[in-house]
Amino acid sequence: MTYPSFDTQGERWAAAQPTNTRYPEPPAEQTLEYPTQVYPSQGYQTQPYPTQQPYGAPQYPYAQVAPANPYLSPQDVLPEHPSSVTVLVLGVLGFFFWITAPIAWVMGSSARREMRSNPGRYRPSPMLTAGYMLGIVMTSLGLAFFLMILLFIVIAMVTFA
Residues, the chain: 161
Summarize pLDDT for 3-54 with one digit per residue, the tens. Answer: 555 555 544 554 555 555 666 666 666 565 655 655 555 555 555 666 666 6
In a 13 Å sphere around the CA of 35, the CA atoms on its Cβ side amount to 3
Give the pLDDT confidence score for residue 149 in this predicted structure: 97
DSSP 5: P
Summarize pLDDT for 132-161 with one digit per residue, the tens. Answer: 999 999 999 999 999 999 999 999 999 987
The amino acid occupying position 64 is: Q
Beta bridge partners of 59: none
CA distance 19 to 131: 65
The stretches of the chain forming alpha helices (DSSP H) are 74-77, 84-93, 100-117, 126-160
Task: Count Cβ atoms below 10 Å from residue 103 Cβ, excluding itself.
Answer: 18
Average pLDDT over residues 100-122: 93
Residue 89's nearest CA partner among 68, 110, 103, 75 is 103
Give the pLDDT confidence score for residue 14 in this predicted structure: 47
Radius of gyration of the chain (CA): 38
Please classify residue 80 by burial: count the beta carbons closer than 10 Å to its beta carbon, then call 0-12 exposed, 13-18 middle and 19+ buried.
middle
Strand, coil or helix: what is 13? strand
CA dihedral 105, 107, 113, 118 (to 10 degrees): -150
Strand, coil or helix: what is 87? helix
